[in-house]
Amino acid sequence: MNDVPQLHQDRPVHIIGGGPGGLAAAAALRAHGVRAVVLEKSDSVGASWRRHYDRLHLHTTRARSALPGLAMPRSFGRWVARDDVVRYLEKYAEYHELEVVTGVEVSRVVRAADGEGWVLHATGGRELTASEVVVATGYNHTPRIPDWPGRDTYKGELLHAGEYRNPAPYAGRDVLVVGVGNTGAEIAVDLVEGGAARVRLAVRTAPHIVRRSTAGWPAQLTGILCRRLPVGLVDRIAPRVARLSVPDLAEHGLPRPDTGLYTRVKEGAIPVQDVGLIAAVQSGKVEPVAAVEEFDDGAVVLADGSRIEPDVVIAATGYDRALEGLLGDLDVLDARGRPVTHGARSPHQAPGLYFTGFTNPISGMLREMAMDAEKIAKHIARGTSRAARAQGR
């Protein structure tokens, strides 16, 4: 990649996190002549993608999942595999000649004493100064397992979905998957195909299920269109589309949801994209059951009062953003620990602090991060140019 003329900066922009959001922001900033340094706590970029389960493919199309300035190779296919995403991120950092520092974990971000910029407290007692900070530590940061009564004394095998890699260790075993988001649904199908003796799927709230693609039309495109429509309108249209494309699974224990699709999206619940769940439920290979209420010795007690004794419980129960320690008392998080802004908007009480990758839009997370990166870079570049002109540079 050709060098880009750099704006004069006393301090670089520091980007916390070397995943797709952080790399995209760094590349966009570089394209605008702003020096950006990516700080990644692991030893390589794309660390969270390397930890995902083996069969994972993007649910968004290759063409609409690329980051700014570099297309994904056609050889990756329409639905890009996890390993190819990792390869792409490695190539992306190399192609854009990004300044990535690995093995550095930022523990605290505070306003600089002079009120200009930020100080990042990092591994080994480092104190790094930055003009602006982009927080891109990721949507799936810290695995969350509910504090079910009896969980700590449960004698069975319990793990978070983040520890699941492939079905080989569970062949011939009775497995309960808890949570019917995209991860739980896909792991359940993976277990069936990998030879698990029995697979049950604990469901608290019936999900919206959509086909990943219908007659060549990807669900992502529908999601992009829906973002421009009123929530109520999408909620009214979605059930009609579902009745045409998704069979009624109520007799198999998975009824249609009674809340609107887009209302649920706004609350953070993305529809389940079908990669085999419908067929597995119809055939009885995946058995929906009631939600988990508690653990009792070697048994799992469900919300309908039934008791089951699976060999393994896999909790596909989500992640925490875990930003409280990093951002301290800056008052930039909402009651659920999510940033109050994203993209080019900084919190009014913390100008120069940006967030990317903490939303999970119906139009695709990678696409959203690509757009955020461009917006953040333009906003920072404008500010840097104004500051340079004011100083007569």
Same domain? 160 vs 62: no
> Are residues 33 and 150 both part of a single domain?
no
Q: How far is CA 370 from CA 62, 65, 94, 187, in A?
A: 13, 8, 17, 28
Is residue 366 one of the residues assigned to a domain?
Answer: yes
For residues 175 and 312, the answer to whether their CB atoms sit within 8 Å is: yes
Number of residues that make up the chain: 393
- For position 63, what pLDDT does the model report? 95
CATH of the domain at 359: 3.50.50.60
Q: pLDDT per residue over 110-164, tens digit each?
A: 999 988 899 999 999 999 999 999 999 988 889 999 999 999 999 999 999 999 9
Residue 2 domain flag: no
pLDDT in tens, 96-112: 999 999 999 999 999 99
pLDDT value at residue 249: 97
Domain boundary among 296, 315, 334: 315
Those residues of the chain that have pLDDT short of 70 are 1-9, 385-393
Domain end (from 265, 289, 315): 315
What phi and psi values does residue 67 have, to the nearest 5 degrees? -90, 165
Q: How far apart are CA 120 and CA 137, in angstroms?
A: 14
Q: Is the domain of 306 the same as that of 160?
A: yes
Confidence (pLDDT) at 385: 61
pLDDT at residue 370, as a whole number: 97
| Short-list 131, 161, 122, CA closest to 17 | 122
Which residue intervals of the chain are DSSP H helices?
A: 20-31, 47-50, 82-95, 182-193, 219-226, 231-245, 261-266, 277-282, 324-327, 365-390
Q: Identify whether the C-beta of residue 85 lies closer than 8 Å to the C-beta of residue 49.
A: yes
Q: Residue 360: what pLDDT?
A: 84
The DSSP element (H or E) to which 335 belongs, if any, is: none
- Judging by DSSP bridges, how do beta strands 217-218 and 213-214 pair with one another? antiparallel
Q: Which residues pair with 185 in a beta bridge?
A: none
